[in-house]
């Protein structure tokens, strides 16, 4: 549904407009890059005037933050399940359940944000504030609880959470995506499960 201006006859609420702008911005940022995307282009894609967009968002960084918040649940789901096996809970948290088309769009945007973060400190700060810091906090707290239960052994839960995030997101975003969304989704599931297995059990056959 297009979040049109009042003059068009569609009286969309600000919340709906906000979500629609975020979705359109994520698409444009993925296609063109953050730096190359202009606010006027986002407004046009969202079927609203620049004045309306600036009433909803103070600037392009705020639009990026909203886009990240909109897509974040496709990268990681919290709270993490407490009453299922550890590996299954972690795999579910990193969203092995997503359909291929959702995977394709969400992962393309994630690659874009990570790439832009390496070049733009402001984008990196937004990405941390609206995504990775929250994921790390939730994941570390969950790992700490499992450690207290004796189900896993982690010395530093924050460091362990950062390690697992780096493994999963690094593996998912390095290299080109598969041409077919179904292949990309299958590769993503295999990658997440492989990272979780290595994180929990290591790779050595002989523990000694």
Q: What is the pLDDT of residue 131?
A: 96
Q: Where in the chain is the domain with CATH 1.10.10.60?
A: 6-66
Q: What is the pLDDT of residue 198?
A: 96
Ranges under pLDDT 50 in the chain: 1-2, 4-11
**pTM (global) more than 0.75:** yes
Q: What is the pLDDT of residue 179?
A: 66
Measured between alpha carbons, how far is 24 from 63 in angstroms, rounded to an integer? Answer: 10
Share in percent of the chain as helix, strand, coil (round to 5): 70, 0, 30
CATH number, domain 73-201, options 1.10.357, 1.20.950, 1.10.3210, 3.30.70:
1.10.357
Q: What is the pLDDT of residue 181?
A: 82
Q: Does the domain made of 6-66 have the CATH classification 2.40.50.140? A: no
Q: What is the pLDDT of residue 178?
A: 62
Q: Where in the chain is the domain with CATH 1.10.357?
A: 73-201
Q: What is the pLDDT of residue 143?
A: 98
Measured between alpha carbons, how far is 146 from 168 in angstroms, rounded to an integer? Answer: 20
**What is the Cβ-side half-sphere exposure of residue 200, based on CA atoms within 13 angstroms?**
18
Give phi and psi for 15, each to the nearest 5. -65, -45
Q: What is the pLDDT of residue 177?
A: 63
């Amino acid at each position: 549904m297009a979040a049109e201006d009042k003059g068009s006859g569609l009286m969309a609420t600000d919340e709906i407009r906000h979500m629609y702008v975020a979705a359109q911005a994520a698409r444009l940022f993925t296609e063109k890059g953050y730096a190359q995307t202009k606010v006027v282009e986002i407004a046009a894609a969202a079927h609203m005037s620049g004045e309306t967009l600036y009433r909803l968002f103070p600037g392009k960084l705020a639009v990026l933050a909203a886009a990240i918040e909109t897509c974040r649940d496709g990268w990681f789901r919290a709270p993490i399940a407490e009453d299922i096996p550890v590996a299954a809970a972690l795999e579910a948290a990193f969203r092995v359940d997503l359909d291929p088309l959702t995977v394709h769009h969400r992962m393309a945007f994630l690659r874009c944000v990570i790439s832009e973060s390496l070049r733009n400190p402001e984008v990196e700060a937004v990405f941390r504030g609206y995504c990775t810091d929250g994921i790390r906090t939730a994941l570390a707290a969950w790992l700490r609880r499992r450690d207290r239960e004796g189900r896993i052994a982690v010395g530093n839960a924050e460091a362990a959470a950062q390690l697992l995030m780096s493994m999963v997101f690094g593996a998912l975003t390095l290299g080109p995506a598969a041409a077919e969304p179904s292949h990309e989704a299958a590769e993503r599931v295999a990658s997440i499960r492989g990272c979780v297995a290595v994180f929990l059990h290591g790779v050595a056959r002989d523990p000694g």
